[in-house]
Amino acid sequence: MGKLDGKVAWVTGAGSGIGEAAALAIAEEGATLVLTGRREQPLKELADRITKSGGKASVEAADLTDAAAVDGIVQRIAAKFSRLDLLVNNAGVNIAERSWKQISAEGVDKLVHGNLTSAFYCARAVLPMMRSQGGGQMIHTSSMSGRNVSPLAGPGYIASKHAVVAMSHSINVEECINGIRSTVVCPGEVNTPILKNRPNPLSDKDLARMLRPEDCGDLIRYIACLPPNVTMNEVWITPTWNRGYVAALERRPL
């Protein structure tokens, strides 16, 4: 018997990386999964893996920067399950042309809509159902770039991920009286497909030292299994070999 038996969870950005790992971990705890991402085929393959392992999963492919599409998914979840216990708000993007010298208006739009607007739409859409059922939980994927400013991630990504942190805390401020809990997870470097958008290629050695998606998935599972009286407001998870720290040490020896 899993700790999430009878619960319904909606995982966004589930087609790869942290979202995929979180969906698998949550399914192991018995939750029924609704999987969302832009690409339908990876979601179907993930749903098949979950069902073949004895779990339950369905697919809702969508562009989460479309508010009507988000609302439609939540309406179908309500019609099918009559509840939603957990939102893993994980969808996100970055771009290669990310510095102030390079970024275009289209790049700004892609980053803000892909990282912040989509997360806001999802949180906003599920709140009425969570209020009516007397509680619910949201876990949002931000980034260490949502807590630190450096040249690496680019200003658009940094600003949008800082906003996700603030969004999550604001949910707790207003919705704690309704039994709704919100956690923001701030990972350091994770070896996921989004790294392909880095302007500078990473070595196999660098990639091997990073977090794995499964590390973040296990953390998300832990948070999802906390009792209703407990809110983990924010958590950082980073590689032990932290390239940012190492670079600082190399510039300024102790």
Which pLDDT does position 254 carry in this prediction? 45
Domain architecture of the chain: domains with CATH = 8-251 (3.40.50.720)
DSSP for 168-205, please give it.
HHHHHHHHGGGTEEEEEEEE--B-SGGGGG-SSPPPHH
121 catalytic per annotation: no
**What is the maximal distance between C-alpha atoms in the chain?**
60
Distance from C-alpha of 111 to C-alpha of 211, rounded to nearest angstrom? 23
Are 119 and 140 in contact by the 8 Å Cβ rule? The answer is yes
Q: Quick one: pLDDT at residue 197?
A: 62
Full-prediction pTM beyond 0.85?
yes
Nearest-angstrom CA–CA distance, 161 and 202: 22
- Closest by alpha carbon to 181, among 247, 217, 235, 114? 235
Tokens of 174: 């207003």
Helix (H, G, I), strand (E, B) or coil at 117: helix
pLDDT, residue 95, reads: 92
Please list the pLDDT of the chain residue by residue as tens digits (254 residues).
799 999 999 999 999 999 999 999 999 999 999 999 999 999 999 999 999 999 999 999 999 999 999 999 999 999 999 999 999 999 999 999 999 999 999 999 999 999 999 999 999 999 999 999 999 999 999 999 999 998 888 999 999 999 999 999 999 999 999 999 999 999 999 998 767 666 677 788 988 899 999 999 999 999 999 999 999 999 999 999 988 888 788 876 54
